[in-house]
Amino acid sequence: MKKIMSAAWLRIAMSATGCLMAAAAATAQSLEPLAVRLDWTPWGVHAAFHLAQQNGWYKQAGLDVRFEDGNGSVTTVQIVGSGDSFDVGHAALASMMIARDKGLPVKAVAVFARRSDIGLLVPDDSNIKGPADLKGKKVVYTAGSLEAPFIDSFLAAGGIKRSDVELLNVDAASKATTYAVGRADAGVSTIPFFLPVVSQSRPSHAISFADYGLNMPSFGIFANEDKLKTRGEAISKFASVTARAWQYIYDGHQDEAVNAIIAQRPQARLDRKVLRGQIDALKPFFGTPPAGTPMGAPVPANWEQAVKTLSSVGLIGTKAPATDYYVSGLVHPEKYDAMVSKK
């Protein structure tokens, strides 16, 4: 009798296991795949992606999201713009605007950092308060980066010109080290990435280019126009979940976001303190959207300013209206309030 009962229970257990495996397979098949190309290797700006992935929020929204690291916003825009390998990209949206002006069929979907992240990093113990104070100083920058075309306008706002400073051109990978060890008096770069890294060895603060009339949207999500037509619903879900994840992070869950990045990317040897510093440094660039505008939704005034900023230095023309660079109505973080509240 015991043998008969054991055999019966074994059949029941095997049947249950089979049902569970079948259900899991069916769930996996029901998820819609979405390929996302990032701007760079993991840093604080990717916090919402990793947190949503870690907590299963994309899957709960019906998406099977695959992320791939990038090696710069310009490259990411070009690859995503081709429409071949990726459905969505995350990058500095000024790079996307420049590419669109040149004919690449890309549009912004969501904007998280609505204020330009480009600025000047200076030591806390220096007397540099603005561009006028750079006369005779050595400034490190990267000639091929997005920051370079704005340097002359920034200097002009202080009444000086390029010949009044010593510009030290280095590759992007060497810039932080060059500045941190004191081989330059100041450095031009993306503030939220650069500042927490260099401040560990050289306490510093930032002077934002946006404060001198050079403002434009920073990091956000964009897609190829054909993908927006064929994968619009999935892209909307992805953008909306990501926006809701950012809301969750800045509601006091920054450390949870740091843990998620490290858990999702265990081989990257990431510095917990730097990641937290980057997430905190990013917050002021998000700003407060106008009343009734969800987190991540494009704000028309921001894009009008972006056109003025980029055209003022010859990076884009002025023929296309600001509305030509983004698509509205795809970001709805409020749809996922209940999902996030279960956490």
Q: Where are the domains of the chain?
A: 31-115+216-341, 120-212
Strand partners, 33: 64
Count CB neighbours of 338 within 10 A: 8
Strands in 138-141's sheet, in edge-to-edge order, are 166-169, 138-141, 186-190, 118-123, 204-208
What is the percent of the chain where pLDDT is above 70?
91
> With bands split at pLDDT 50, 70 and 90, how would you rate the model's confidence at 23?
very low
Among 167, 165, 198, 168, residue whose Cα is nearest residue 278: 198
Rounded alpha-carbon distances, angstroms, from residue 343 to 35, 114, 191, 280: 25, 27, 31, 22
Instruction: Note the pLDDT of residue 26.
Output: 41
- In this predicted structure, the answer to whether residue 18 has a pLDDT above a threshold of 90 is no
CATH, range 120-212: 3.40.190.10
Span 62-86, pLDDT tens digits = 999 999 999 999 999 999 999 989 9
Among 195, 204, 216, residue whose Cα is nearest residue 43: 195
Which DSSP symbol is given to 225? Answer: H
CATH fit for domain 31-115+216-341, picks 3.30.9.40, 3.40.50.620, 3.40.190.10, 2.60.40.420: 3.40.190.10
Residue 108 has phi, psi (to 5 degrees) of -75, 145
Among 331, 245, 343, 241, residue whose Cα is nearest residue 32: 241
Contact 272, 47 (CB under 8 A): no
Domains 31-115+216-341 and 120-212 share a fold: yes
Instruction: Note the pLDDT of residue 11.
Output: 55
pTM: 0.90
- In this predicted structure, the answer to whether residue 238 has a pLDDT above a threshold of 90 is yes
